[in-house]
Amino acid sequence: MIANTLTRFNQMFSHPDAAKLLLRLTVGGLMLFHGWHKLHAGVGGIQGMLVAHGLPAFIGYGVLLGEVVAPLLLIFGILCRLSALTVIGTMVVAWLLADLGNTFSLTPVGAWALEEIALYALASAAILLQGCGKYSVLKNSAWR
């Protein structure tokens, strides 16, 4: 009886394509807030960090790919694996530029200081590994 109940429960909540959509909407939607800020406030802060590390300032515009373009593509289900890889790269750069010194630190409330970066990077890695799913604005699966 318990096995049958568990089987029915598992079947009722087994919707892998809906889960992929939810993950894409979450990562893309939340990352887009960061991109929206960069669109309105500019990328000057990023450019300053790059220059401080001896890199050219124009690379700072790349953050718009990782925080605006890639999230929009994730939301719409277009080039999801490439977009997820772009978000992962953006998170690695954010870690190296802004939070490298916090790698082994905790916040005052006991959370890992890199929690947000890790969540975006690992959720994007899940998208990279599993793909878009069937919910996309495109029918051609090669472009999903």
Residue 57 clears pLDDT 90, i.e. is over it = yes
What ranges in the chain are assigned the alpha helix state H? 2-12, 16-41, 44-52, 63-64, 70-76, 80-94, 115-130
Residue 141 clears pLDDT 90, i.e. is over it = no
Q: What is the pLDDT of residues 1-30, one digit of tens each?
A: 999 999 999 999 999 999 999 999 999 999
pTM of the model: 0.92
Place of tokens 């990077």: 121
Q: How far is CA 24 from CA 4, 52, 86, 88, 127, in A?
A: 32, 34, 14, 13, 7
Residue 118 clears pLDDT 90, i.e. is over it = yes
Residue 51 clears pLDDT 90, i.e. is over it = yes
For the residues 62-91, what does the mean pLDDT come to?
Answer: 97
pLDDT at position 82 is 98
**Which of 66-70, 92-96, 137-141 is least confident?**
137-141
